[in-house]
Structure 1
Amino acid sequence: MRRIRPMWAVGAALVLLGALLAHHPTKAEAFPATARTVVIDYLRSITGTAVVSGQHNKEPASSPAQYTQQARNVTGQFPGLWGGDMMFRADDQANRQRVIDEAKAQWAAGSLVALTWHACSPTVGVTCEFDGGVKTQITNAQFQEIVTGGTALNTTWRNRMATVVPYLRQLRDAGVPVLWRPFHEMNETWNWWGGRPGANGGAKIFQQMRDYFGSQGLDNLIWVWNVQDNPAANWSQYYPGANYADVVSLDVWWKSHPSAADYQQIQTVAAGKPIAVAEIGKMPTAALLTAQPRWAYFMMWSEHLLGNNTTAEIQAAYNIPRVLSRGEISLSGGGGGGGGKIRAVASGRCVDVAGAGTANGTQVQIYTCDTGGAAQQWTAGSDGTLRALGKCLDVAANGTADGTRIQIWTCDGGNAQRFTYHAAGRDIVHAGSGKCLDVRAEATADATPLQLWTCNGKANQDFLLPS
């Protein structure tokens, strides 16, 4: 939550402690285009052994890395997680593109990306001030109208959601997974969406947003559900369900750090999903992270970095051996993974078996991404095959010439059906010819066929493998 709190005096000039930085690398590894599942799996993999350092960057949106830079100035390290916001005030919404550009840059430099949204209530204007627009009360009847399809307030809310889709789609097309945290502090009542337990309350609006954004093809979002440490009980009453939340998180404002009871309750709700401290005003200590080792990341809230922590406290937190900064995060898997869609980056469309046909020789093309049809569900096999509808992606007649047709065919283990994905270049290379899958004539329209073509680095040869 956006708050004004008393500022603690920051001591003398900021000094870097070189000796304490020794366990941190000096150079970050760039992240390639990556599927959301790779980040989720990474958070699972570090649970219990490590925690990613994070820094939120609040308004103004015209300076979307100012607090991250402050952390760098104090510690000599960049946080492992950059956080931003889709904002509410008119001038900040006008700079949403700056936020998205910064998210791309942070990802490319080797930091994970998180976004939240302090959304204006559908009962007020498209832009608003925090007080009276985000921090505001609406009636239960108004809330039910917002979540009931076909009503005036529901239409307004869907239009509001639609305004952020093109921005999130840019990150999808760039292969940037986003820890997306809408409707945060759902158990609190300062916001218009909060304090509504049960199936028709906060859980429902969260579910509806995930369903809507899914229908818009935003399969790069990692859905982070969130409550605050006050009220301190019955958090599960606000939970949208395991099929809707990927990460379960807690904002800690009523205490300096999560209590043992907080830690236990959030794990109970998560039931094995990664857990995180999504907002905090006081740097975690080594003792806290030893006692509560399963937090996957923490996010220091903007002005509280210097306003609520001494230089020594910030440096000490970043130099806890289990705390990971930029350069210490290793994402394996590039953009590969299990079954799902293969996205053609230039068009945003999906690799598709024409007409969902299963006959040998059926054309493979690009087409508007659907919501789960089998013609767009591909599995990457360990043998180099890409499979859909029980058949394999295949180069017609095992050809090697530019323009050779791409089709599906009964899996036979031959070179015509073996491909390698290069995450850095986002290309799919045919083993038999060394040439790339290519969208014909650089077109972006539905039903444009795929073909084989000499690898040339153009956008029509960029693909993201299943998420």
Structure 2
Amino acid sequence: MKEHLQARLAVEPKLINPKASANAKRLMAYLCSIYGTRTLTGQQFGVVSTPEMDVIRLATGKYPAVGGFDFMNDSPSRVERGSVPTDTPLAIDWWRNGGIVTFCWHWNAPKDLIDEPPDNGWHRGFYTTATTFDIAGAMNDETSEDHALLMRDIDAIASQLKRLRDEGIPVLWRPLHEASGGWFWWGAKGPEPCVKLWKIMYDRLTNRHGLNNLIWVWNGQHRDWYPGDDYVDIIGEDIYPPERTYVSNVERFRQALGYTAANKLIALSENGPLPDPDKMVGEGAPWLWNCTWYGGFICAQDASGAWDVGEQYTEREMLLKYYGHPITLTRDELPDLTVFPIPDDTEQEHRAANS
């Protein structure tokens, strides 16, 4: 098992986009260089308030290496109802301060929002229960209004991704996440329309919008939803064990290995409680990064309103252990990713021939 795992951890730093930007290539090269031996600490920024990073720094003395962001409030159906996008400038600042950027997109359905508060208000329009938007119908008719609205929304997010591109920021881009769960509208009608939308999004963002700064993180969580090796750079798994349950999640790591015969990087793209790093090492679950979800998963306010470590999901002792562990990396330990060496094609071909 160990020999097999070691073989699967040998990932060539080659991106699916042949026109990938230099900084995207640099980030991929760095990720491949640490994969299997080190894990990047990560944390999602909050949507309404963003105390998470300061809470972690005050508790551990360090910032996480990976900052998680969300284009949720950039969805046109939210903007037209008054939401204020915030995460693009936050991500630019994070990169300028030496961090790695990952973005997901809680994509509010472009139309057909049920809008029945509190559980199915318009602000929950990414949930299947809060919209009647039909992804299958939209994918089956490229002349339909629904299809055109999906393209409009993708183009709106492209404008934000271009701001990041123009800053030289490579983005670990994780759209259409958790599709196989069915709780988001993009997964409500099974694999076929979702996979089709993934491929259309890849083509549109890459070839129409020239977003060569994206590293594509697929997070479908079931092999039937896998769009193919030519459309995936990294595989992500989102895992939420019970409160204060510190496991390696090795079963899910092995599940992710089974989505494809190709060697792909595998990350813990969302988590509730932190995994126990000792168990990760001992059980063979070398997640490339983790990204703890925001709010109560990491912090809480005291009686005075000040933010501190919230111990409902991860106790302070485990937080300190994780951020101080020999296998984890924090932001201060990252190299300068604007100058990290890029292996040339000749070197990659030589390594592949001798592997």
Is the TM-score greater than 0.5? yes
Kindly provide the amino acid, as one letter, of the partner of residue 65 in structure 2. G
CA contact (8 A) 1:44 1:273 kept: no
Q: Residue in 2 aligned with 1:38?
A: 26
CA contact (8 A) 2:44 2:294 kept: yes
CA displacement, residues 423-446 of structure 1 (integer Å, 9 cap, x when unaligned): xxxxxxxxxxxxxxxxxxxxxxxx
Q: Residue in 1 aligned with 2:329?
A: 324
Q: Residue in 2 aligned with 1:210?
A: 202
Gaps of 5+ in 2: 1-20, 299-309, 348-355
Alignment of 1:223-238 (within 5 A): 223-228=216-221, 235-238=222-225
Is 2:315 the partner of 1:310?
Answer: yes
* TM-score, scaled relative to structure 1: 0.58
Secondary structure of 2:185's match? coil
Q: CA deviation at 1:104?
A: 1.2
1:157 pairs with one of 150, 168, 178: 150
CA contact (8 A) 2:62 2:332 kept: no
CA contact (8 A) 1:56 1:302 kept: yes
Q: CA deviation at 1:194?
A: 1.4
Alignment of 1:18-417 (within 5 A): 35-60=23-48, 63=49, 65-88=50-73, 89-90=78-79, 94-96=83-85, 98-124=86-112, 129=121, 132-137=124-129, 142-147=134-139, 148-198=141-191, 200-214=192-206, 215-228=208-221, 235-254=222-241, 256=245, 257=247, 259-269=249-259, 271-290=262-281, 291-303=283-295, 304-305=297-298, 306=310, 307-330=312-335, 334=339, 337=342
The answer to which structure has the higher strand fraction is: 1
RMSD: 3.0
2:209 and 2:270 map into 1 onto residues whose CA distance is 28
Larger radius of gyration: 1
Secondary structure of 1:295's match? coil
Percent sequence identity over matched residues? 26
Alignment of 1:412-451 (within 5 A): none
Could you say if the C-alpha distance between residues 79 and 139 of structure 1 is closer, same or farther in structure 2, counting changes exceeding 3 Å? Answer: closer
Could you say if the C-alpha distance between residues 207 and 149 of structure 1 is closer, same or farther in structure 2, counting changes exceeding 3 Å? Answer: same
Could you say if the C-alpha distance between residues 130 and 332 of structure 1 is closer, same or farther in structure 2, counting changes exceeding 3 Å? Answer: same
The answer to which structure has the higher helix fraction is: 2
Q: CA deviation at 1:43?
A: 1.4
Q: Which has the higher contact order (CA 8 A, sep 6+)?
A: 2
Residues paired across the two proteins, number:
298
Could you say if the C-alpha distance between residues 34 and 335 of structure 1 is closer, same or farther in structure 2, counting changes exceeding 3 Å? Answer: farther
CA contact (8 A) 1:224 1:248 kept: yes
Gaps of 5+ in 1: 1-32, 229-234, 340-378, 382-467
CA contact (8 A) 1:53 1:324 kept: yes
1:134 and 1:141 map into 2 onto residues whose CA distance is 10
